[in-house]
Amino acid sequence: MHLTELKINKNVSEYVFGVGALSSLPGMLSKKRINEKDFVIFIVDSYFQKEKQILSQLQINDLDKLVFVPTTTEPTTDYVDSLVRQLKTVGTVKPCAVVGIGGGATMDVAKAISILLANGGKSEDYQGWDLVKKRGIYKIAVPTVSGTGAETSRTCVVTNTNSGLKMGMNSEYSVYDQLILDPNLTETVPRKQYFYSGMDAYIHCVESVNGSYRNALADSHCDQTIRLCGEVFSSEDMMTMENRSKLMVASYLGGCAIGASYVGVVHPFSAGLSVVLGLHHCVANCTTMRAMEEYYPAEFKKFWTMVEKQEIEIPERVCHGLSDEQYDQLYRSTILHEKPLTNMLGKNFREILSAQKVKEIFLKM
């Protein structure tokens, strides 16, 4: 085991947890609205366009900007850049805060907006490790689905339209400043999505504790996350209020764990499925688990036990019948994730994961 190479490990400064916690948001924002012209940008999952009760709790005023993010596809650099251009039309004054309300994709878009409004340039300029130079606009996360850990992680992931590769803006400045964890907000999540997203927390931590770059702090977060996910997805009703509360905590801790360590083999292959075949991240993770017995045998078995318990359908044969060009794209989209692959396989991971080996792994999916 090696100590992680991460030198900076920043966590969310403040959080509110509990049923009805969303009611604390207006008070948080009032502390940022110092001048009468101060405004807030709300980045909200498009699902909530019809949820008037939720929107009314945000107490949006006339100066604020409300943006609904479509989540049928994952965010791209072009989408984020176009959104920034639209938001800049409000003038040279910057918002006093950015609020991200939704799942992982929506929270990542809000992170990217915060970074770009403060740093300038294009989103692709900051894809990589520690490329962001200035603190972003003050940002608050309100997750409405649990598992991705986007609310606590130090990255925001978007697909690069030019290169076709899925990469994150991995920086201490990507971390949210405040966080609202309200289990009420996950009550209406479709059952399959609830499972897929929740498994992201489990898989994050499975990858971390099986890697080479570890530390006691990350391991402790991982142990609790894996335990909580096991309790939730082994229960008779995974979506009770108690279980939704547990999964929200698991998501939080899983995000903290990855901030202090790395993922492993699953996420690079999952990224390939998202970029080439358009699978959403959490579904892609679960699909990738079809081919992970070689790398995570015990966790592989536990994962499929939980799938069977909850009677969840996992996509299969998604990589059969693809063209040579598509297999090449899958290989390139996977192999570029150097840090996580090194974490699990060592510095010679490219020798282990030849193009043919990668194709064989994808064919198991």
Quote the CA–CA distance of 273 and 1 in Å, as a whole number.
30
Helix (H) or strand (E) holding 129: strand 128-129
CA angle 226, 230, 234 (to 5 degrees): 170
For the beta sheet containing 128-129, the strands, ordered from the edge strand earlier in sequence to the opposite edge, are 128-129, 166-170, 157-159
Q: What is the pLDDT along the chain (365 residues), one digit of tens a residue?
A: 555 555 557 789 899 999 999 999 999 999 999 998 899 999 999 999 988 888 889 999 999 999 999 988 889 999 999 999 988 865 557 899 999 999 999 999 999 999 999 999 999 999 998 899 999 999 999 999 999 999 999 889 998 988 877 888 989 999 999 999 999 999 999 999 999 999 999 999 999 999 998 888 899 999 999 999 999 999 999 999 999 999 999 999 999 998 888 999 999 999 999 999 999 999 999 999 999 999 999 999 999 999 999 999 999 999 999 999 999 999 999 999 999 999 999 999 999 999 999 999 999 99
Q: Quote the pTM value.
A: 0.93
Buried residues in 318-343 as b, exposed as e (16+ CB within 10 A): bbeebeeeebebbbbbbbebebbbbb
Quote the CA–CA distance of 3 and 321 in Å, as a whole number.
42
Residue 174: which of 255, 258, 115, 262 has the closest Cα? 115
CATH class of the domain at 14-186: alpha beta
Which residues partner with 38 through β-bridges? none
CA angle 204, 196, 55 (to 5 degrees): 105
Half-sphere exposure of 200 (CA within 13 A, CB side): 30
Buried residues in 123-162 as b, exposed as e (16+ CB within 10 A): bbebbebeebeeebbbbbbbbbbbbbbbbbbbbbbbbbee
Going by DSSP bridges, is the β-strand pair 65-69/97-102 parallel, antiparallel, or unpaired?
A: unpaired
Residue 281: which of 208, 201, 349 has the closest Cα? 201
All structural domains of the chain with their residue ranges: 14-186, 191-363
CATH superfamily of this structure's domain 191-363:
Dehydroquinate synthase-like - alpha domain (1.20.1090.10)
- What average pLDDT does the chain have? 93
The H helix count followed by the E strand count for the chain is 14, 9
